[in-house]
Amino acid sequence: MIKLKSAAEIKKMRQAGKIVAAVLQEMERAVAAGVTTGSLDKRAERIIRRAGALPAFLGYHGYPASICTSINEEVVHGIPGLRKLQEGDIISIDVGACLDGYYADAAVTFAVGKISPQAQKLIEVTRRSLEKAIEAMQCGAHLSDVSHAVQSYAEARGFSIVRSYCGHGIGTAMHEEPQVPNFGRPGRGPLLQPGMVLAVEPMINAGGWQVEVLADQWTVVTRDRSLSAHFEHTIAVGENGPEILTVL
Ligand code: MF3
Ligand code: CO
């Protein structure tokens, strides 16, 4: 069952979304060669708590940190620690916050200094594929139109779509129905209507679509160790079109 949100609930999610956006803005400033992923996590946690919210990922199914930091061939769920960023890396940072019981979730892939043209293209295509998905989030569209928007945009540019992880509904839980795959035929699934809030999160690989989980039981990597990028926003379907909640 998809739970529709009231205007008051969306207001709360907008507030949670602004906290997530502020963290990502600070992450953009902080990302640099020599910086450890653990220090990014501490900074993020401080910002979330000072804003009166809780880090949504910390303790979720035992996850040990407040953000996910996934570098290069890491797709999602990379655990922050002592690893230092290096010039030429790309790093996907995923942030979730819970304010007064309402969740917001967003992710961005950043470049560390100068990166390869291929990495740059992967980041741009993944960012644009999320924009295409958001444009598809109109009342009366089908859920799979959103999925198809990501797939058609990214595959046409030579990249592949991660299939075993999806976007999701979000609200009073981080993960609610429905699942939002990043691939599929258009015109399928539930109709989008005002009050639906989705976290849409394309995960796009430079090589093959297959992924595996490392021995730490969290870090998802591409099977062929090709680069992967990840962008995510929390978006409400409104009568006058989609509203991105994870923006300042
Ligand atoms: N954006 C990711 C998701 O929606 C973040 C979850 S990370 C976890 O699943 F650590 F909390 F699992
Ligand atoms: Co998510």
Q: Which residues line ligand 1 at a C-beta cut-off of 6 Å?
A: 57, 60-61, 63, 68, 77, 94, 96, 105, 107, 168, 199, 201, 232
> Residue 20 and residue 82: Cα distance in Å, rounded?
23
The closest ligand to the CA of 234 turns out to be: 2
Q: 138 CA distance to ligand 1 centroid (A)? A: 25
pLDDT digits (tens, 9 = 90+) for 138-182: 999 999 999 999 999 999 999 999 999 999 999 999 999 999 999
Please tell me whether the overall predicted TM-score, pTM, comes out greater than 0.75 for this model: yes
What is the residue type of 186? P
pLDDT value at residue 123 = 99
> Residue 247 and residue 69: Cα distance in Å, rounded?
20
Identify which of 45, 174, 217 to mutate to test ligand 1's pocket (most ligand atoms within 8 A of the CB): 174
Please report the atom of ligand 1 found closest to the CA of residue 63: 10
* Pair of tokens at residue 192: 């989008």
pLDDT digits (tens, 9 = 90+) for 15-54: 999 999 999 999 999 999 999 999 999 999 999 999 999 9
The CATH number corresponding to 7-244 among 3.40.630.10, 3.40.50.300, 3.10.20.30, 3.90.230.10 equals 3.90.230.10
Other CB atoms within 10 Å distance of the CB of residue 9: 18
Please report the atom of ligand 1 found closest to the CA of residue 61: 12
